[in-house]
Structure 1
Amino acid sequence: MTDHNSGDESASDASHSDESTAGGSGGDESTTERTGDGVHEWRVLDSVVEYETGWYEGGYDLVEQPDGSRKRYYWAALPPAVVVVAVADDSLVMVEQFRPVIGEHCLELPAGLVEDGESYTTAGARELREETGFDPAGVSLLEEFWCSTGVLRHRRAVVFAEGLEPGLPERDTNEFLSVRAVPVEDALDVARREPANDATIEGILLAERDGLL
């Protein structure tokens, strides 16, 4: 994926950005990249938040690249999320819901945002209970990773839940979904049908690789 940027920045452009944009740090943070000539410092000359919704932010970093040029790298920062692979009676627990952002009904693994102070496993157990009513006896972390690194500052984890005890769901006011049981042997084929969901496919593949499905 190609990083989005607004083109070269001159020194005068960078100075103007520092003076005119609220939220700019004007800092001099850096990360490193190993190149053929050694290690180059990717200096962050400015970091600007241009948009806030209360649950995510959007903005850009003005970065000095290895060749000395400057570019704005735009990003959206979201809280971490967790995806739950849960099995009951040889079936994978999935949820079907309408996703207004893409205008499609999707069949997905249960998932949600991690709340402050929660671990991925605690958040996964909570999301599973809230969306499906199933209370797991145990939850283990399968993987944690960055998502869409060309544009997002967002981490996602996949957890595996087992020993499910049925109960009543406690859904949020914006959650209108139905619980579906998909036979384990059909789960990947079902997940790959349009509109396919990346987190669901990732979760199933990770669980299969670890011998859990």
Structure 2
Amino acid sequence: MTDDGRRHEPLPDPEWPVRESATEYETGWYTGGYDLVEQPNGTTKQYYWAELATAVVVVAVEDDSVVFVEQYRPTIRQTQLELPAGIVEAGESFTTAAERELREETGFAADSLALLQSVWCSTGVLRHLRGYVLATDLTPVERDLDENEFLSVRSVPVGDAIETVRGDGTPNDATLEALLLAREDGVL
């Protein structure tokens, strides 16, 4: 497990024997490598993985609107309408990280925060846990963007949130999943 000041989830003991585990590269953003695993039929195979720090996505609802951010994503070369999100720091809970990220990215503080769900993402290749947090009872505060964040804040009526994200091109998974979870829980 990487010790970079960010939260990383410990893995349980493996059900299939791991004969070798190797880290092949490390960046400031993720670590990648493989585990040589003995499969149930006795053969071995290298299963490649990339480990990312634990993250949080915030469904912030105020005055019957959902608070979004728009930002350009160089990795896919397009601007995305997204929910506020970020990395969970070491020692932080999902709700503490959500409170911090919401404040930094949108300029809102939440008096009420609740974890909707945490999920392992893209488990065929990633070691990455993501938590989805509902934030309500918002009050305006000063934003504190990171030096590499160029975000604009946009509110969308609750009843239009999912349709707006889906109709805005190709949405990102974290935003769509969070909105669907919130709808399933009766929040949207």
**Is TM more than 0.5 here?**
yes
What CA distance in whole angstroms lies between the structure 2 residues aligned with 1:108 and 1:124? 14
Deviations 1:6-32 (A, max 9, x none): xxxxxxxxxxxxxxxxxxxxxxx9622
Q: 1:198 aligns with which of 170, 173, 178?
A: 173
The amino acid that maps onto 1:208 is R
| Correspondences of 1:25-40 after superposition (within 5 Å) | 31-32=14-15
Give the Cα–Cα distance (whole angstroms) in 1 for the partners of residues 179 and 65 of structure 2.
12
1:72-115 CA deviation, whole Å, 9 max, x = no partner? 10000011000000011111000000000111100000000000
CA distance in 2, matches of 1:50, 1:191: 37
TM-score, structure 1 normalization: 0.80
TM-score by length of 2: 0.91
In structure 2, the CA distance between the partners of 1:73 and 1:185, relative to structure 1 (3 Å rule), is: same
Structure 1 residues 43-62: aligned runs within 5 Å: 43-62=17-36
Distance apart, 1:56 and its partner CA = 1.5
**Pairwise mapping of residues 100-111 of structure 1 onto structure 2 (< 5 A)?**
100-111=74-85
Matches within 5 A, 1:41-120: 42-120=16-94
The more displaced of 189-198 and 142-151 is: 189-198
Contact 1:30 1:44 in 2 (8 A): no
Q: Contact 1:94–1:109 (CA<8 Å) still a contact in 2?
A: yes
Distance in 1 separating the partners of 2:18 and 2:33 = 13
How many residue pairs end up in the alignment? Answer: 176
Change (3 A) 1:30 1:144: closer
Percent identical: 61
Higher relative contact order (CA 8 A, sep 6+): 2
Contact 1:134/1:164 (CA < 8 Å) preserved in 2? yes
- Which residue identity does 1:47 align to in structure 2? S
Query: CA RMSD for the aligned pairs?
Result: 1.2
Q: CA deviation at 1:191?
A: 1.4
User: Secondary structure at 1:105's aligned position in 2?
Assistant: strand
Cα displacement string for residues 46-81 of structure 1 (whole angstroms, at most 9, x for unaligned residues)? 000010013320000001111111111000001100
DSSP 3-state at the match of 2:17 = strand
Corresponding residue SS for 2:177: helix
Which residues of structure 2 form unaligned runs of 5+? 1-11
Deviation above 4 Å: which 4+ runs of structure 1?
none
Does 2:150 align with 1:176? yes
DSSP 3-state at the match of 1:31? coil
- Structure 1 gaps of 5+ residues are 1-28, 33-41
